[in-house]
């Protein structure tokens, strides 16, 4: 998922029983004022609206994380931060995006949204929440020039090298054209090119070729 798609998630978007995540919105930052700076809009493209499968590892992680979050809600009680969506309209009265605003006072007209990635006390800091932890992870693994977004490329490269069809990978990433996946999300290295040559050699090996090179 794109970074903005990840942090736009609410628990309503995640079906743990059917093991799928529905992706149809994107989080982005705008000019900050007293209401905050985080907004929800549509995904980057129409093809970005999709559903992705939840594998075993992710399922266990989400179940554990949801329990952790529910325990925190009980712990903090009224001090737990809550948010609602305020529609933003253009000059023609059409809703073009939603603004994420913290609920300061109880109101029947403000429906609480269950954001997934929040702080221990429920505070929502958007994509900022990953900055420091990801920096620590990069340093521990000695990774340089790597953004959280680049994990999409890692996913594409590893799955395609494992034999997954490029069309399937493109749809998971939300690309309308497989060329985008091939040209921008698949990395090449000396090691991978070496493996490609060795794989070809194994596939084309024959006793005849072996006898010829022994002359």
- All structural domains of the chain with their residue ranges: 3-144, 147-205
pLDDT value for 105: 79
pLDDT reported for residue 201: 64
pLDDT one-digit tens code per residue, 57-106? 999 999 999 999 999 999 999 999 999 999 999 999 999 999 999 998 77
Window from 21-35, 118-132, 184-198 with minimum mean pLDDT: 184-198
Residue 108 has pLDDT above 70, yes or no: no
Residue 204 has pLDDT above 70, yes or no: no
Q: Write down the pLDDT at residue 187.
A: 61
Contacts of 29 (CB under 8 A, 6+ apart): 37, 38, 39, 126, 127
For residues 10 and 114, the answer to whether their CB atoms sit within 8 Å is yes
Question: What pLDDT, on a 0 to 100 scale, did the predictor assign at position 185?
Answer: 62
Percentage of residues in the chain with pLDDT exceeding 90?
48
> What's the rounded Cα separation, in Å, for the pair 85 and 198?
55
Q: Give the list of residues 6+ apart from residue 112 with CB closer than 8 angstroms, or none.
A: 82, 83, 84, 103
Strands (E), 94-147: 95-102
Measured CA to CA, the distance from residue 186 to residue 154 in angstroms comes to 8
**What's the pLDDT band for 184 if we cut at 50, 70, 90?**
low
Whole-number average pLDDT of the chain = 85
User: Would you put residue 126 in left (φ > 0), alpha (ψ -120 to 50) or beta?
Assistant: left
- Asked whether the CA dihedral 23, 24, 27, 33 is positive or negative, the reply is negative
* Cβ contact 174:45 at 8 Å: yes
Helices (H) and strands (E) in the chain, counts: 8, 7
| Cα–Cα dist 192/200, whole Å | 12
pLDDT digits (tens, 9 = 90+) for 10-23: 999 999 999 999 99
Q: How confident is the model at residue 24 (pLDDT cuts 50, 70, 90)?
A: very high
The closest of 50, 4, 11 to 172, measured between CA atoms, is 50
Q: Produce one character per residue of 13-30: b if its CB has 16 or more CB atoms within 10 Å, e if not.
A: bbeeeeeebebebbbbee
23 with 49: CB under 8 angstroms?
Answer: yes
**Which whole number is the average pLDDT over 124-150?**
88
């Amino acid at each position: 998922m794109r970074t903005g798609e990840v942090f736009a998630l609410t628990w309503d978007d995640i079906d743990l029983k059917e093991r799928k995540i529905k992706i149809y919105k994107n989080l982005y930052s705008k000019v900050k004022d007293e209401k905050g700076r985080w907004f929800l809009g549509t995904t980057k493209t129409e093809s970005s609206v999709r559903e992705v499968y939840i594998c075993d590892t992710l399922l266990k992680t989400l179940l554990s994380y949801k329990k952790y979050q529910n325990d925190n809600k009980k712990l903090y009680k009224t001090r737990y931060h809550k948010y609602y969506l305020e529609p933003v309209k253009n000059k023609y009265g059409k809703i073009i995006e939603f603004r994420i605003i913290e609920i300061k006072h109880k109101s029947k007209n403000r429906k609480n949204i269950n954001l997934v990635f929040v702080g221990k006390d429920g505070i929502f800091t958007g994509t900022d929440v990953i900055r420091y932890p990801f920096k620590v992870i990069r340093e521990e693994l000695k990774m340089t020039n790597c953004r959280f977004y680049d994990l999409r490329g890692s996913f594409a490269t590893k799955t395609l090298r494992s034999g997954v069809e490029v069309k399937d990978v493109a749809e998971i990433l939300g690309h309308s054209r497989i060329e985008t996946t091939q040209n921008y999300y698949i990395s090449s290295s000396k090691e991978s090119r070496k493996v490609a040559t060795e794989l070809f050699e194994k596939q084309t090996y024959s006793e005849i070729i072996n006898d010829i090179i022994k002359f």
